[in-house]
Structure 1
Amino acid sequence: MSEKSGVGTELVARRRKDEVKKNKKTWRTAQNVDCGRRQQEILQKAEQGREKKE
């Protein structure tokens, strides 16, 4: 009995780790998307500024 329960908890722990990894990945990608959007906005503003100067 004790061995079985040990294996079960190990599997649960492993599953939790995988879930955490997935969450971290999605969170990171979400951050990257935000960064990409911000950079695009900055580039657009810079281009607009250049056009105004000319």
Structure 2
Amino acid sequence: VRLHTDGLDDVSEDLDVRVQRLSGDAEVILYAFDISAGGRTLIDGRASVVLDAARLG
């Protein structure tokens, strides 16, 4: 995750959240995401989502 701002508390414009699935299977999915406002990127990065953590042990 890369932060391009000190926080989101003082952002007055609407937030635009974009997510793209990069890869995945039945257990884990990798996403790229960015959050912007007023045409400026505030946060971007990647996130891994484990679909069934209990099953992985």
TM-score range, shorter chain: under 0.3
TM-score, normalization: structure 1?
A: 0.18
* Greater Cα radius of gyration, structure 1 or 2: 1
Task: Judging by fraction of residues, say which structure has more helix.
Answer: 1
TM-score, normalization: structure 2?
A: 0.17
Higher relative contact order (CA 8 A, sep 6+): 2
